[in-house]
């Protein structure tokens, strides 16, 4: 199972010193991770009129775990 950007961000913030510069760098990295996940989801999606909301929920569950 892949790690979401939110899970990654929480773990990094939990494990690292609590100074603003460290947290800002972690935030920038998390945003980049999220951007890559969005691009990957878009590129692997089926984009036609039959694409339903349940398809995106299934993709998320298969790649990232619980909804």
The tens digit of pLDDT for each residue in 36-59 reads 888 887 777 655 555 555 666 777
Q: What is the mean pLDDT of residues 23-29?
A: 87
Q: Give the number of domains in the chain.
A: 1
Residue 1 has pLDDT above 80, yes or no: no
Q: Please give the structure tokens belonging to residue 6.
A: 């939110």
Between CA 60 and CA 48 the distance in angstroms is 19
Phi-psi region of 65 (alpha: psi -120 to 50; beta: other; left: phi over 0): left
**pTM of the complete model:** 0.57
Domain region containing 47:
5-64
Between CA 57 and CA 67 the distance in angstroms is 7
pLDDT for position 46:
58
pLDDT digits (tens, 9 = 90+) for 2-16: 788 888 888 888 888
Between CA 5 and CA 20 the distance in angstroms is 19
Residue 61 has pLDDT above 80, yes or no: no
Between CA 32 and CA 20 the distance in angstroms is 19
């Amino acid at each position: 199972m892949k790690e979401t950007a939110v899970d990654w961000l929480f773990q990094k913030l939990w494990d690292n010193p609590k100074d603003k510069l460290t947290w800002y760098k972690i935030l920038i990295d998390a945003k980049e991770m999220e951007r890559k996940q969005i691009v990957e989801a878009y590129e692997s999606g089926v984009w036609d009129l039959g694409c339903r909301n349940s398809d995106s929920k299934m993709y998320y569950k298969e790649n990232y775990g619980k909804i």
